[in-house]
Amino acid sequence: MSDSSRLDSAPILHAQGLAKQVASGDRQLTILSELALSVFPGETVAILGASGAGKSTLLGLLAGLDAPSSGELTLFGESLAALDEDGRARLRAGRVGFVFQNFQLLPTLTALENVLLPLELSPLPDSETRGRDWLGRVGLAERLDHLPKQLSGGEQQRVALARAFVTSPQLVFADEPTGNLDHATGNRIIELLFDLNREAGTTLVLVTHDFALARRCDRCLRLDAGRLVEMQQDEVQA
Amino acid sequence: MTELTRTGSDGIASQGAASGVLRWVSLSWRGLRRDLRAPDVRALFVALALAVAAATMIGFFLDRLERGLERQAGQLMGGDLVLEQSEPFNESVRQELEDAGLTLSDQVDLISMVSRDGAFQPASLKVVDDRYPLYGEVRVRRGDEPEMLAHGPAPGEVWLAPRLAQILDVSMGEPVRVGEAELTVGGVIEREPDQSAGFSSFNPRLMMHIDDLETTGLVQPGSRVEFELLAAGPPEAVASLESRLEQLRRDGVEVRDVRVDRPGLGRSLERAEKYLSLSGLAAVLLAGVAVAMATRRYVDRHLDTAALLRCFGASQAQLTRLFALQLLWLALAASAVGAFLGLAGQAVLLALLTRFLSLELPPPGLLPLWLGILTALAVLVGFAGPTLLRLKRVSALKVLRRELDPLPASAWLVVAVASLVFGGLLWLYSGDLTLSFGLLGGGLVMLAVLWGLGWLMLAGVLRLVAKLPSHNEGGGSVNRQALRLGARQLARRRQASLGQMLAFSVTFAAMAMIALVRGDLLDTWQAQLPEDTPNYFAINIQPGERDAFVDTLEGAADELTSLYPMVRGRITAINGQEPREAVPAEAQGENALRRELNLTWRETVPEGNRVVEGQWFDTLESEQQAGQGWYGEVAAEGEPRVPISVEDGLAKRLGLGLGDTMSFTIGGQEITGEIASLRNLDWDSFRPNFFVIFPPDVLERFGHSYITAFYLPDEESDTLQQLVENFPGVSLLNVEAILERVRDLLAHVTRAVEFVLGFVLLAGVSVLYAALTASRPVRAHEGALLRVFGAGNRLISRTQWAEFALLGLASGLMGALLAELAAAGIYLGWLDLPPRIHWGLWLALPFGGALLIGAIGHLLSRGVRREAPVKSLGLLGET
């Protein structure tokens, strides 16, 4: 995506002066401070950082799962500060997809039922057909009725990918999507993730400590001492 | 955005409301169906089904019994409304009753001598009109076979009781003389639909037509005749006469209203009814505790689902709806199963009990079913509600940070809500607000005390454990090591352990209480009618026959009660006033005011009687000047006033207490007594009982006869023959059949009570199941950690044993305390039994508890011990 096209449209996600402090004993621990970020429609953005840098905290804030201590954050053009927890949930419904490091599949649901779960909240016509279709796209057409425990780690993450895209969201957040997988399986999942993202034309915000994964994105940002720093191409290649 | 037309983030609102609701219904239904394999959901289901089964079983049963008794009562009384007085009823009263929509029938009761060829026998005459009987049929033998007839004898005819026919030695078609009339024997009565009781019925029955009454010449001014007006009609008709009936009562008419004066069940059955209600509630409480325990695990397991749904955009309201609906389906399914079990259970109870009440029962009504479902929902809301709210409060961020669990519901909130709901249920079932919330308040105070006690016990356990020599120091055995580890685990997880201890102690207490009450009820019943309970009554023993009568029985009869002298007297004044003016309005029609009472005198308190207020004569007498009997005093003072002892029930009905006076006319003389003591007695005791007892030396001068009761074994039929021959004037009444019936009834009530006890125990086991299910993951985790650190199977197994056994021991101690207090409260306040301490309980509950919890817990954790540590370690926190 070129810089000029980015400037043509409003950012789908915009953060300014974002800060998060948490109480640790009797003192305040600053995890994020003065953080700024704009993500535009169709972009793929990687956020890199070492363990404990606050990547997951940031992802939680960006997705509206948590409220910042201060700063402004708009998602789909709506200021999250004006919304309570329920309001933020409604904003997410059907428009945001998630992929988690530990898959987060419900153990009592079959693969298909897991994929259909977000659609229960934001129904689309022919939900079930869509669910089957998406499971087919991730190569699990034959495993619709399997429970998570009957699937391998890679297969479970594929179910999670299908679930993330099934509502045709505008924005997908991925939190270390390969963190629990071996190298080869991880690579296949990455391929699949980017393929699906491209086909659906979705915006992707990906949190990882894996440079190989980050390199696949349009932009890479490094979380450093609570702020985001744009990484240069050579930095990522290194 | 894609090519698809999406319903948008507020899609639910923009969709048709109906389809939205349907979607949630289907979503929750599917969720529940998938969940059915989870042990906590099964525990919830079992607990709820048990609550409904208990509530509906007892509800169906009592409802049918009540309605059956009401139906039968009308028949037993002879009508829905019975008016009785000593003169014929006038036309205006009849007109009023008929205008209200009642059908009337006249009846006259009197006692008269019946004779034939020189054989005489006093008989209890029942004079009936053409409309007799208003309800039911008479079973009469007119030829070879008995017939069921819906009418009485025709004019000119009499029907006799078999005993009367035998005494008079008459057959069908032969004449008997009643007063001045000669009537023909037209039938032998085998059963009357309406049965009146009392001493008048000691005389055999003779039934005749009202048209013949005049020719007998028996109704003369001053003769002792009861005129009855029987009325049948719908309850509304009787209700519409309310104020008129009140007026009649004030005029001295005895009014029996089927709605109020339903023949009692007797205290035994009444207690059994209460016991059943109590057990039902205990089962509901236990099920509630099980629900509370199972809900904790259910919520823990669904926190991830809730967080994920939050993440996908579900609002708190949607989450609440989803889980509430899921549990609603569970409750409804459990209600269906529970109601079915309840129906089956009540059929068993009825089979056990009603055959002996010879009741025709109406089919089960719907009300208990609704009550059952309401109970399930109430139990769910009350015992699971606050815990379920945790699901709503879950943060979406939990999907990223697993440790972010919402705070558990405050234990006090859980207890408070559950108590409030249970109090409401108590109120609903007992209909007694004060009792319900009194019990509840007491229960809450007890819970607080138990909580403190539990806390201290856990602290004590920790201290004790610290003093146990460690493995290295003492070279201690595996057992000691296991005990130390188990105790420490128990004491360190203080909140969870306290919760379990409370749940188990309430469970043990409820189980023990129901068992205790059962035992004491049975003991009381057995003591009430021991083997040698008198089976014969002898009345009308003349003073001259007294010694000879006793001599004849000597050696043959057991348990000959004292011979009580009997004088008949009528109450003529109360506190110097006309009796009816002196007593409360509702006592105007009291039998004792209209009839002659059997009075006796006695030096000592009669067997089975208990002075509940005031003092008995001997105590009083010692306070008087020595050497003077009551009669002397009476004679000296000129105005006779002697101390008397009155049965407390009669005193209460007449509004009398110590110091009030009652005047009696006996043989034309008036004697005034001052109430010196009130006695409590058991009217079902099969012994002679008296409303009023005088001291010796007052009534002797009046004509009197004696009454006694004795037990004569079957093989002593010679003695019986001797009595009949030597004392022809004495009436011997065999109560063996009635006694057998009561014994039989008690035996069946006992079985019903045991059946219900079994049910309560089952509910108790459901609590254990739910609790152990709830704590399984934590224990699995601990066991796996121990294994990782090198502990062998033996140590882990014994550690779990030790922990469960200690938990059971502590819970048993607390349960014993709770059960003892609760049982005492119930005895005093509800069942009217004297409370006592049950020492066995203090041994049985702690040690039984240790063994039971130890064994069941150990058994249920077997699977956990078999699992590889990796799996168990991963289990904690996973759904």
Asked if A117 and B15 come within 8 Å (Cβ–Cβ), the reply is no
Residue A104 near residue A117, CB atoms below 8 Å: no
- Identify whether B307 is part of a domain: yes
- Identify whether B722 is part of a domain: no
- Identify whether B29 is part of a domain: yes
Higher per-residue pLDDT: B571 or B869: B571
Q: Which residue has the tokens 């020492």?
A: B839
Which tens digits make up the pLDDT trace of B163-174? Answer: 788 888 898 999
Residue-level pLDDT at B635: 44
Q: What ipTM is given for this predicted complex?
A: 0.84
- Identify whether A27 is part of a domain: no
Query: Structural domain tally of chain A?
Result: 1
- CB contacts of B314 in chain A (<8 Å) are 89, 93, 121
How far is B61 from B759, CA to CA, in rounded Å? 15
Residue B156 has pLDDT above 90, yes or no: yes
The CA radius of gyration of chain B, in Å to the nearest whole number, is 36
Q: How far is B294 from chain A (nearest CA, A)?
A: 18
Residue-level pLDDT at B189: 87
Q: Which residue of A has its CA nearest to B38?
A: A108
In sequence order, the β-bridge partners of residue A228 are A223
**CATH number of residue A113's parent domain:** 3.40.50.300
Sorted by sequence, the CB contacts under 8 Å of residue A180 that are 6+ apart come out as: A101, A102, A103, A153, A157
Residue B639 — pLDDT band, cuts 50, 70, 90? low
**Which residue in B311, B318, B871 has the most chain A C-beta atoms within 10 A of its own C-beta, making it the best mutation to test that interface?**
B311
Residue-level pLDDT at B559: 61
Do residues B570 and B696 share a domain?
A: yes
In sequence order, the β-bridge partners of residue B642 are B673
Residue-level pLDDT at B7: 40
**Buried-exposed string B441-468: b where 16+ CB fall within 10 A, e elsewhere:** eebbebbeebbebbeebbeebeeebeeb
Higher per-residue pLDDT: B707 or B209: B209
Asked if A98 and B879 come within 8 Å (Cβ–Cβ), the reply is no
Closest residue by Cα to residue B688 from B563, B541, B825:
B563
The boundaries of the domain holding residue A204 are: 41-65+84-237
Asked if A89 and B10 come within 8 Å (Cβ–Cβ), the reply is no
In sequence order, the β-bridge partners of residue A222 are A48, A229
Name the residue among A86, A117, A124 with its Cβ closest to that of B4: A124
Residue B304 near residue B879, CB atoms below 8 Å: yes
Instruction: Give the percent of chain B with pLDDT over 70.
Output: 81
- Identify whether A34 is part of a domain: no
- Identify whether B690 is part of a domain: yes
Do residues B203 and B286 share a domain?
A: no
**Which residue in B2, B3, B7, B9 has the most chain A C-beta atoms within 10 A of its own C-beta, making it the best mutation to test that interface?**
B9
Q: How far is A234 from chain B (nearest CA, A)?
A: 31
- Identify whether A220 is part of a domain: yes
- Identify whether B839 is part of a domain: yes
Residue B624 has pLDDT above 60, yes or no: no
Q: How far is A92 from chain B (nearest CA, A)?
A: 5
Q: How far is B35 from chain A (nearest CA, A)?
A: 7
Query: Structural domain tally of chain B?
Result: 3
For chain A positions 97-156, those within 8 Å of chain B (CB to CB) are 98, 100, 104, 106-109, 113, 117-118, 120-125
- Identify whether A122 is part of a domain: yes
Q: How far is A93 from chain B (nearest CA, A)?
A: 4
Asked if B400 and A107 come within 8 Å (Cβ–Cβ), the reply is no
- Identify whether B760 is part of a domain: yes
- Could you give the 3-state DSSP secondary structure of residue B316? helix
3-state helix, strand and coil shares in percent for chain B, rounded to the nearest 5: 60, 15, 25
Which tens digits make up the pLDDT trace of B691-718? Answer: 899 998 888 888 888 888 888 887 777 7
**Which of A30-44, B719-733, B839-853 bottoms out in mean pLDDT, i.e. has the lowest?**
B719-733
In sequence order, the β-bridge partners of residue A27 are A24
Name the DSSP class of A173: E
Name the residue among A60, A106, A170 with its Cβ closest to that of B400: A60
Residue-level pLDDT at B176: 93
Do residues B293 and B438 share a domain?
A: yes
Asked if A91 and B6 come within 8 Å (Cβ–Cβ), the reply is no
Q: Which residue has the tokens 């909140």?
A: B495
Name the residue among A60, A107, A120 with its Cβ closest to that of B27: A120
Which tens digits make up the pLDDT trace of B349-401? Answer: 777 766 655 556 667 777 778 888 888 888 888 888 888 888 888 888 877 77
User: Highest mean pLDDT range out of B24-33, B420-429, B657-666, B822-831?
Assistant: B657-666
Name the residue among A91, A93, A170 with its Cβ closest to that of B1: A170
Per-residue pLDDT, averaged over A123-130, amounts to 84
- Identify whether A172 is part of a domain: yes
Do residues B869 and B769 share a domain?
A: yes
How far is A9 from A5, CA to CA, in rounded Å? 7
Do residues B650 and B615 share a domain?
A: yes
Which tens digits make up the pLDDT trace of B435-485? Answer: 777 777 877 788 888 889 888 888 887 788 777 665 554 445 777 778 888
Q: How far is B876 from chain A (nearest CA, A)?
A: 14
Residue-level pLDDT at B472: 52
Q: Is A10 on the interface with B (CB under 8 A)?
A: no
Per-residue pLDDT, averaged over B43-53, amounts to 85
Do residues B577 and B660 share a domain?
A: yes
Closest residue by Cα to residue B695 from B650, B610, B634, B626:
B634
Do residues B754 and B782 share a domain?
A: yes
The boundaries of the domain holding residue B820 are: 14-63+267-527+743-875
**Which of A214-223, B140-149, B282-291 bottoms out in mean pLDDT, i.e. has the lowest?**
B282-291
Distance, C-alpha A38 to centroid of its chain: 15
- Identify whether B162 is part of a domain: yes
Do residues B582 and B685 share a domain?
A: yes
CB pairs under 8 A between A and B: 115
Do residues B395 and B508 share a domain?
A: yes
- Identify whether A28 is part of a domain: no
Q: Which amino acid is at B334?
A: A
- Identify whether B623 is part of a domain: yes
Closest residue by Cα to residue B534 from B689, B405, B763:
B689
Sorted by sequence, the CB contacts under 8 Å of residue B44 that are 6+ apart come out as: B290, B291, B294, B295, B298, B327, B330, B334, B384, B770
Per-residue pLDDT, averaged over A58-86, amounts to 89
- Identify whether A23 is part of a domain: no
Residue B731 has pLDDT above 80, yes or no: no
Distance, C-alpha B631 to centroid of its chain: 46
- The residue from B257, B283, B303 where one domain ends is B257
- Phi, psi (degrees; rounded to nearest 5) at B331: -65, -40
Which tens digits make up the pLDDT trace of B276-298? Answer: 777 777 778 888 888 888 888 88
Higher per-residue pLDDT: A17 or A122: A17
- CB contacts of B12 in chain A (<8 Å) are 121
Residue B409 near residue B386, CB atoms below 8 Å: yes
Give chain B's mean pLDDT.
78
- Identify whether A46 is part of a domain: yes
**Which residue in A22, A116, A120 has the most chain B C-beta atoms within 10 A of its own C-beta, making it the best mutation to test that interface?**
A120
Do residues B217 and B174 share a domain?
A: yes
- The residue from B685, B710, B735 where one domain ends is B710
Q: Which residue of B has its CA nearest to A41?
A: B1
Asked if A93 and B316 come within 8 Å (Cβ–Cβ), the reply is no
Residue B135 near residue B145, CB atoms below 8 Å: no
Do residues B374 and B459 share a domain?
A: yes
Which tens digits make up the pLDDT trace of A162-182? Answer: 999 999 899 999 988 888 888
Asked if B313 and A90 come within 8 Å (Cβ–Cβ), the reply is yes
Do residues B145 and B247 share a domain?
A: yes
- The residue from B215, B231, B257 where one domain ends is B257
Residue-level pLDDT at B208: 95
Cis peptide before B122 (omega within 30 of 0): no
Give chain A's mean pLDDT.
86
Asked if A90 and B1 come within 8 Å (Cβ–Cβ), the reply is no
